[in-house]
Structure 1
Amino acid sequence: MKTWSFGGHATNVGLENTSTHFLYASAVVLAFAMFAFAFDLAGHPGRVARAAAALEESETEAAGAASAGGSTTVIERTSTATAPAPQKRQWAGIGMALAWLGAILLGACVLTRSMSVGRPPLGNMYEFAIVGAFFVMCAFLLWSLRRDVRSLGLFVVGPTVLTEMLAATIFYTAASSLLPSLQNYWLTIHVTVAILSVAVFTIAFSTTILYFVQKWREDSGDTKFQFMDAVPGSDVMDRTTYGLLIVAFPLWTFTLIAGAIWAQKAWGHYWSWDPKETWTLVIWVVYAAYLHARATAGWTGKKAAYIAVAGFVCILFNFCIVNVFFVGMHSYSGM
């Protein structure tokens, strides 16, 4: 197997290429999953119409039987008529199956990337992106084991596919050994928790956007986009976003604290107002304001959602702008 040496550490080019192939395969599979979820949403008005027709037919049969058999039959037949069998969601099932397969392929991408350099794949923006996409899929799929989140599949898998495409085309960095300042066990702790929290923030951003869409439909009395009836209403999306951010915020707090501890070990001081450190603090402040506004001022709905969107915009700025264009002690994007 052909290898190249980077700073005394051998990089397995064969495994690096295999990792890239797994990434491409995962993107293709998740793209098909995205289409399957879209077809499921598109078929929602038809499912509702079929269920209503089945219920009406059952009630008609019950009424006919009642006229022939008396009031006792009315009660018995009506009780069964009001509970028609649930409509099958074949496309949603296909989407979930493909989502699991795509996540497994993405996990294989992360694993082989790690094996190609003999370290955790956390050293540059490409590796951050693929691990982050994997964590998003893991969070969504584990969530699906407890709740029926199939109607949200399109809005979670879609951003994941976009991240994979950006990783493959823009963020890609050849596998190499870490810079000396990164060769510390705090890398695994600090960066892993940071990526996990960003994964939850990403899902919360999707539910926030869905909140705005559903709120607009409810306020305007929308009848054109009936496929969105399959997605929970604005109140549910608002509460879901709040629950997700309650999980993500402590993780981001730990990221901030762990980064300061690592900075002291690596550079001799806890804080230096480096651009990356500063924007990490800005993100923390914005999401702290969101949770504080909900807990003390009772903010819900649009006012709270605007803050949540602002927080994710800061995350995107931190990842896509600060990492690439700002020079500082955290300039490890590899681009």
Structure 2
Amino acid sequence: MNLASAVNENFANYSNYLIRSAMFVYALAFLAHLAEWVFGGRSKIAVQSAALTTTGPAAAAPAVAVRSAGGTTTLERPKVITRASASDRDMADGPGASGGNERADLYGRIAISFTALAWLLHVCGVAFRAASVQRAPWGNMYEFSTTFGAVAVGAYLLLLVLKKNVRWIGLFLTTSVLLDLGLALSVLYTSSEQLVPALHSYWLWIHVSCAIISGAVFYLAAVGTLLYLFRDHYEVAVLAGRAQNNRWGDIMRRLPSAASLDKFAYRMNALVFPLWTFTIIAGAIWAQAAWGHYWEWDPKETWSFITWVVYAGYLHARATAGWKGRKAAYLALIAFACFLFNYYGVNIFVTGKHSYAGV
């Protein structure tokens, strides 16, 4: 049987059109989210919310106590803790990207609507890619990238449906998905085609789908971790009496507190870590069926394991050593960097048994 004849070119073309259409709508969502951040934070509600965040004994400038001992006057200044753990602070969550501004909130709602529409187009594009070859639509880097973006956006929309306070991710998510799809179409694109015999296995559905879901949730956690570092720096400045009243400070005030961001990132990483563990186990089982060995220290296997070790170290440190705050955040970002290198770096620059997946 001619493998080329097994490809439905019409469905493949529909997939390309739908992915490009999704990019256009994601761009509209990006602009709406950008407008939400730009025009947000200018209402009385936002000003009051910012005041609640920065007032109180912890946020006030340290007072000077004067004590007289005989004929000597001593000035005592309270110690300012600049490296306090975020969980030790009593800082309120910010009012969100809109900052309580009704006009900005409207832009935010429009952005969510565009994101949901783009996601539907995106998912249909992935589905038509699968239908064009009658297999799982993640047999190469292009297909993995497009599916990865769809799963990341789907996870974000699911959190919104569950009434979680995550709309602050929207701008960063749409930016990332646009970059992801742009890179997929311009650099990683591969024509719809059948795979080599070793990849014709039900483990393709199980192993790679788990890797995609794990990576998508790791990505959301990484966004939360990165924003935690910025918000934590802002809160330290507030506690030290150096509140930033510029535009940057206004943006930081609208984010959730550092403690909330830290908790969000930790929960996301902890939630998906068992799935990443299963991903590696499933890959080993598939390797035994395809190559005759469970583990051969192939570059992809090695870096998957390194990623697992760093995430395991992060979770273990949080649970047993009491690592919270910046040290844990840096370790979480290193773990996600390992995941990214495992995907882009290993696939593009390193030759191994997984190389037949193609670019």
The question of a shared fold, defined as TM-score above 0.5 by the shorter chain, is answered with yes
Instruction: Pick closer, same or farther for the CA change 1:198–1:50 going to 2, 3 Å.
Output: closer
More helix per residue: 1
Query: Of 278, 282, 287, which residue of structure 2 is paired with 1:254?
Result: 278
Q: Is the 8 A contact 2:12 2:129 kept in 1?
A: yes
Q: Distance in 2 between matches of 1:217 and 1:251?
A: 34
Shift of 1:231: 1.6
Aligned to 1:24: 20
Please list, as runs of the form range in 1=range in 2, the aligned pairs for 1:225-264 lying within 5 A after superposition. 225=248, 226-264=250-288
Is 1:320 aligned with 2:344?
Answer: yes
Q: Which amino acid aligns with 1:173?
A: T
Shift of 1:227: 2.6
Q: Distance in 2 between matches of 1:269 and 1:45?
A: 58
Q: Distance in 1 between matches of 2:313 and 2:244?
A: 32
Aligned to 2:67: none
State the SS of the aligned residue for 1:176. coil
Aligned to 1:13: 9
State the SS of the aligned residue for 2:353. coil
Instruction: Pick closer, same or farther for the CA change 1:219–1:191 going to 2, 3 Å.
Output: same
Query: Of 41, 49, 66, which residue of structure 2 is paired with 1:45?
Result: 41
Instruction: Pick closer, same or farther for the CA change 1:162–1:6 going to 2, 3 Å.
Output: farther
Q: Is the 8 A contact 1:19 1:112 kept in 2?
A: yes
Please list, as runs of the form range in 1=range in 2, the aligned pairs for 1:187-206 lying within 5 A after superposition. 187-206=204-223
For 1:2-37, what per-residue CA distance to the aligned partner results, in whole angstroms no more than 9, with x for missing partners? xxx863651112211111111111111111111211
For 1:284-317, what per-residue CA distance to the aligned partner results, in whole angstroms no more than 9, with x for missing partners? 0000000000000010110000011101111111
Aligned to 1:98: 114
Aligned to 1:116: 132
Aligned to 2:61: none
Aligned to 2:64: none
Instruction: Pick closer, same or farther for the CA change 1:50–1:331 going to 2, 3 Å.
Output: closer
Aligned to 1:183: 200
Instruction: Pick closer, same or farther for the CA change 1:42–1:8 going to 2, 3 Å.
Output: closer
Aligned to 2:151: 135
For 1:74-120, what per-residue CA distance to the aligned partner results, in whole angstroms no more than 9, with x for missing partners? xxxxxxxxxxxx75310110010001001001001101101111111
Instruction: Pick closer, same or farther for the CA change 1:311–1:6 going to 2, 3 Å.
Output: farther
Query: Of 296, 313, 336, which residue of structure 2 is paired with 1:289?
Result: 313
Instruction: Pick closer, same or farther for the CA change 1:290–1:47 going to 2, 3 Å.
Output: same
Q: Is the 8 A contact 2:23 2:118 kept in 1?
A: yes
Q: Which amino acid aligns with 1:241?
A: A
Give the TM-score, by structure 2 length: 0.80
Give the TM-score, by structure 1 length: 0.86
For 1:212-255, what per-residue CA distance to the aligned partner results, in whole angstroms no more than 9, with x for missing partners? 11112222332221033222121111000000001121111000
Aligned residues between the structures: 299
Q: Distance in 2 between matches of 1:50 and 1:268?
A: 62
Worse-superposed segment, 147-156 or 197-206: 147-156
Instruction: Pick closer, same or farther for the CA change 1:333–1:47 going to 2, 3 Å.
Output: farther
Q: Distance in 2 between matches of 1:168 and 1:6?
A: 27
Q: Distance in 2 between matches of 1:140 and 1:266?
A: 35
User: Identical aligned pairs, as a percentage?
Assistant: 41
Q: Is the 8 A contact 2:45 2:101 kept in 1?
A: no
